[in-house]
Amino acid sequence: MKNIVILATGGTIAGISESITDTASYHPAILPIQEIIHGIDGPLNQIARISSEQIAQIDSAEMTHQIWFTLANRINTLLADPSVDGIVVTHGTDTLEETAYFLNLVVKSSKPVVVVGAMRPASALSSDGPINLYNAVILAASEEASGKGVLITLNNAINSSRDATKTNTSLQDSFKAPELGYLGYIIDGRPHFYREPTRKHTYMSEFTVDGLTELPLVEIIYGHVDNRSTLAQAAVATGAKGLVYAGLGNGNMSTAMRTAFEEIQNQGVIVVRSTRVSNGVVTRNGAINDDLSNFIVSDTLNPQKASILLALALIKTNDTAEIQRMFWEY
Ligand code: GLU
C-alpha cells in the first residue's frame, strides 16, 4: 500500500458555517486536518496509508511566501524519503493556483503532489470537500500522476497547476484551464489522463527553495482605460524589483504606460507583459516592440503566476533574455 502525506493549510475544505444551507457565508480554516480525514477514514484507508500534518490554518488570502517555503521544504524532505509515495496539500481556493504553481517550480521530485480545496464548507449540504480530498489521495497514490508536475483536483477534474485558474467565485466547477483544458478526470476512484504538461516543472526545474528566506518583491499592475502610471511608479519606489502588467489584449498598453514602463525598465526593474484576458498567448513584438523596450512577455501565464515565475527568476538573474527564456520554458 502507498504512503500518502496530507499537508493541511486551511481554507474552505476546513470551513464551517452556522447553517448547513450556507455555502458562501462561513468561517474558513476551522477544522483540523485529522477531523477532515476522520469523516472519510474508511474510503481513504482502502487506497493508502495516510498521515497528516497541519502546516497552517488560514484563509488562503493570508498565504505568505514564508508559508510557501515551509511547505515546499517539507514536501522536498518528505519526498526524498523512499517510504513516502505522494503528497496532498489542502488549501483555500482563493490562492490555491498560486501555491500550486510555486510548488510546481520548486518541488524536487517526480512523485505526485496534488493540491486540493473545496468550494463548499465542510458543514454544508453536499459539501465537496470529502470527495475532493478522496480524489486527491487517489491521484497522489497513482502511478499515472508521477512526473506530471504539481496537479490540482476539485470537482472530479485533474488540472495542471501551470494552466488552471479559479474561474468562478462560488460554483464547484471553478478550477479550469479555460481553453487548454483538463488533463483528465477522476471517476469512481480511478484517474483518467488524456494529456500532460509540456512545460518544465518539479524535477526538471532550475529553481530551488533551498536556503530561500525571501522572494524579490514583484507587483502586479492592472490595465484599463486611461491607466495612470502612478501605481507602477509607487511600486518601484517602495522596493519592487519586478512588475507584471495585466495588460490589455495581447499584453498591450497605452503610449503613456509604455513610456512609464520603459523608464522603470531603465532603472533595472524587470517588466513582464501579461494580460487581463483569460485565454491566449502574450506574444513578443506585437503592437509593442519588446526588443526595443526590453520587456518580457508572459506567454500564457496569467498575471499572478507570471509574478511567481518572475520572482524566482530574479533570484538568479536580471538578464532579460534569460528571463524571457524561462517564460518560454516554464
Ligand atoms: N477565502 C477562503 C480561502 O481562500 C476560502 C476559499 C475556499 O477555500 O474556497 O481560504
Which residue out of 57, 59, 67, 172 has the highest number of ligand 1 atoms within 8 Å of its CB and is therefore the one to mutate? 59
Quote the CA–CA distance of 126 and 9 in Å, as a whole number.
22
- Closest among 63, 275, 94 to 174, alpha carbons compared: 94
CA of 121 to the centre of ligand 1 (A): 9
Q: Are strands 151-154 and 113-116 parallel, antiparallel or unpaired?
A: parallel
Ligand 1 geometric centre to CA of 96 (Å): 8
Give the CA diameter of the chain. 61
Residue owning grid cell 524535477 = 203
- Ligand 1 pocket test: which of 94, 132, 153 has the largest number of ligand atoms within 8 Å of its C-beta? 94
What number does the ligand 1 atom closest to the CA of 96 have? 4
If one residue of 93, 98, 166 were mutated to test the ligand 1 pocket, choosing by the most ligand atoms within 8 A of its CB, it would be 93
Sign, CA torsion 289/293/296/301: negative
Instruction: List, as one string, the DSSP characters of 227-260.
Output: --SHHHHHHHHTT-SEEEEEEBTTTB--HHHHHH
Q: What SS3 state is found at 293?
A: helix
E strand map for the chain: 2-10, 48-58, 86-90, 113-116, 151-154, 157-160, 165-166, 175-176, 184-187, 190-193, 218-222, 242-247, 270-275, 296-297
- Taking the CA atoms of 13, 18, 23 and 27 in sequence, report the sign of the dihedral they define: negative
Instruction: State the helix-helix crossing angle for 255-266 and 230-237, rounded to 10 degrees.
Output: 10
> How far is ligand 1, taken at its centre, from the CA of residue 62, in Å?
10
Q: How far is CA 325 from the centre of its chain?
A: 20
> Residue 328's CB: how many other CB atoms inside 10 A?
12
Catalogue the active-site residues. 12
The grid cell for 270 is 524587470
Ligand 1 centroid–CA 305 distance in Å is 18
Question: Shortest CA distance to 293 belongs to which of 324, 314, 316, 317?
Answer: 324
- Pocket (CB within 6 angstroms of ligand 1): 10-12, 28, 59-61, 92-94, 117, 119
Instruction: Give tens-digit pLDDT for 31-83.
Output: 999 999 999 999 999 999 999 999 999 999 999 999 999 999 999 999 999 99
**113 CA distance to ligand 1 middle (Å):** 20
Residue 41 in 3-state DSSP? helix
The H or E element spanning position 217 is none
Nearest Cα neighbor of 4 from 139, 99, 164, 192 is 139
SS3 192: strand
Q: Judge if pTM exceeds 0.95.
A: yes
Look at residue 267 in the predicted model and tell me its pLDDT: 95
C-alpha grid cell for residue 228?
A: 495612470
Q: Which of 71, 42, 69 is nearest to 55 (CA)?
A: 71
Q: Which residues of the chain register pLDDT less than 70? A: none
Question: Which 8-state DSSP code applies to residue 181?
Answer: -
Which atom of ligand 1 sits closest to the CA of residue 94? 4
